Amino acid sequence: MNFVEYGDTIKDGDTAIVFLGHESMFPVKVQHGTVTQTKYGVIRHSTDLIGKKYGSKVTCSKGGWVFILHPTPELWTMNLPHRTQILYSTDISIITMMLELKPGSIVCESGTGSGSLSHALIRTVAPTGHLYTVEFHQQRAEKAREEFREHGVEHLVTVTNQDVCKNGFGVSNIADAVFLDIPSPWEAIGHAKSALKAEGGRICSFSPCIEQVQRTCLAMEEYGFTEINTLEILLRVYNVRTVSLQIPDLGEAAEDNSGTGFDSSNPSHQGSPCANLQEGTVQFKSGVPLREVVGHTGYLTFATKS
């Protein structure tokens, strides 16, 4: 199993996603002789998972069923164990685009955290690129190495446990892009410049507070970065609903339907908006935003090494 090279069959040792519904899923490590409990009953790895195809519908012991999905960076972001606050797909998508990443790119990242962005970066630069990720916390760095090894992508990533603000990324003049998600990114701008290739490399800094952004922008200007700009990505979800609207009184012309060819007694017209004219309302399909809108996550500051 590999997060980059997708396979068809579930094997012993794979990480799979148990899908109960769009709002209910979780990862499981497939192991011979192991069972997994769900609200629909038990899943026996030896008989229900190993050898089956990804995407299969598996019946649990209580008669309910689940789907077993191949892991992707997007699914991992939704289901990973949280060791830190993470970046979600909304921010990740704009980061990979604005950093101009592609297969073969060399990327430096700090800090690794829970590895949400790391998995997306690895898939983007595979099969010939590489990710150098730095994590200050030793236990988080060790756990990240373990996950990359289990997910079959350890050959595409190097995990370093050190303080990027003091010791940098451990590479010089090779990176196409640098990403910073640390409390004081302005202290690492000089090391980021050293890690980037001679000209044209891109940098992105994620910060939740505007004061952090201000200090980071000043540091970028001091080190000669250009095209500095800051974005904030806010997600707004719409629900499709049927709404009833009052028909306005537009006078006699609106009330006279003799020239429209509409016959309310015609069965083919039943259920159409015009069928409700006598009731004074008409129904429409409408996109309605949710009452609770996803709030601020952080500011993304991008710049180019000139």
Query: Which tens digits make up the pLDDT trace of 104-122?
Result: 999 999 999 999 999 999 9
Considering only residues 280 and 168, tell me which one the structure prediction assigns the higher pLDDT.
168
Residues 45 and 55: their CA atoms lie apart, in Å, by 15
The DSSP 8-state label assigned to residue 196 in this structure reads B
- Which residue in this structure is represented by tokens 């992707």? 72
What per-residue confidence (pLDDT) applies to 144?
Answer: 97
- What lies within 8 Å, CB to CB, of 104 at 6+ separation is 125, 128, 129
Instruction: State the pLDDT confidence band at 276, using cuts at 50, 70 and 90.
Output: very low
Tokens (6 digits) for 33: 């002789």
Give how far Cα 172 sits from Cα of 54, 82, 106, 168, 192, Å.
Answer: 41, 31, 11, 9, 9
Considering only residues 122 and 241, tell me which one the structure prediction assigns the higher pLDDT.
122
Tokens (6 digits) for 238: 């719409």
Question: Which structural domains are found in the chain, ordered by start?
Answer: 9-71 (3.10.330.20), 76-229+297-305 (3.40.50.150)
Judge whether residue 173 has pLDDT over 50: yes
- Which residue in this structure is represented by tokens 């603000």? 165
Pairing mode, strands 65-69 and 157-161:
unpaired
Count the Cβ atoms, other than its own, within 10 Å of residue 147.
22
Judge whether residue 269 has pLDDT over 70: no
Global pTM value: 0.84
Tokens (6 digits) for 50: 């190993």
Q: 3-class DSSP state for residue 269?
A: helix
What per-residue confidence (pLDDT) applies to 253?
Answer: 59
Judge whether residue 210 has pLDDT over 50: yes
Looking from the CA of 109 toward its CB, the CA atoms found within 13 Å total 29
Least confident among 5-14, 159-168, 275-284: 275-284
- As a whole number, mean pLDDT of residues 143-151 equals 96
Tokens (6 digits) for 92: 């990740």
- What lies within 8 Å, CB to CB, of 223 at 6+ separation is 189, 190, 193
| Known binding positions for S-adenosyl-L-methionine | 114-117, 135, 163, 181
Let me know: does 116 contact 87? Beta carbons within 8 Å.
yes
| Known binding positions | 114-117, 135, 163, 181
For the chain, percent of residues with pLDDT exceeding 70 = 91
What per-residue confidence (pLDDT) applies to 246?
Answer: 85
